[in-house]
Amino acid sequence: MRELSAAATVLADRLRDELLSGEWSPGSRLKEEHLAQRFHVGRYTVRSALRTLVTNGLLEHEPNRGARVPALYPERVDQLFAYRTVLEVGSLRIALSRGLALEPVAGATAALENLPADAPWPQVLRTHQEIHRTIVALSGNPRLIDAYTGCEEELQFVTAITRPAYTAGKLAALHIELLAHLLHGGDRAVDALTRDIEIGRGAVLDAMTATVTATG
């Protein structure tokens, strides 16, 4: 059972990277039999991996039809980013009220800045996400942290569409500027984080529009 769990974890990681790289188009179905043959694993392993990705918001499950890549639509993006704003800005306010140092955010920003230009897109997304995860963690509130953890992979999946308009370098430049405002503290920090999240939401919606135009 332990080996099976490890195999499912490895498969989930492989599929996660493919989803974040855009190798599966919205609406695509991930068939258990095909994946079992492709990765040389059992159907139970595939089922466990897909269940993990469904739980984390990267896939959706339809009764009797299996897992598929969810479609992106503006309402979903707006709801997700509104939820993100509540969690991140609320966490930042708590951290600022407690007088906590924001050096951990600086470290996470430096990690993004130091990524090579050819870094795989999933790695860029995870490194970028670490900045925002760190902000939430500074709240020290387990409920906020758990809530954010529950939507992180869905956020990465939705944000993945912004490539190629966004690169590691462009994201790093935006977050170096954000960090300067965060270190200043007060309303300036809160306003900067709110604006950063809104920029991200706009980039996703713009990319969705561009995709529809290109395929239309």
Q: What is the pLDDT of residues 147-177, one digit of tens each?
A: 999 999 999 999 999 988 899 999 999 999 9
- What digits encode the pLDDT tens for the residues 32-77? 999 999 999 999 999 999 999 999 989 999 887 889 998 889 999 9
Q: What pLDDT sits at residue 183?
A: 94
| Whether pLDDT at 86 is above 80 | yes
- What digits encode the pLDDT tens for the residues 187-216? 999 999 999 999 999 999 999 988 766 555
- How far, in Å, CA of 82 to CA of 198, rounded? 9
| Whether pLDDT at 131 is above 70 | yes
| Residue boundaries of the structural domains of the chain | 2-68, 74-215
Q: Which of 62, 50, 42, 57 minimizes the C-alpha distance to 14? A: 50
Cβ(192)–Cβ(181) below 8 Å: yes
Q: Domain 2-68: which CATH class?
A: mainly alpha
Query: Superfamily assignment of 74-215 in CATH?
Result: GntR ligand-binding domain-like (1.20.120.530)
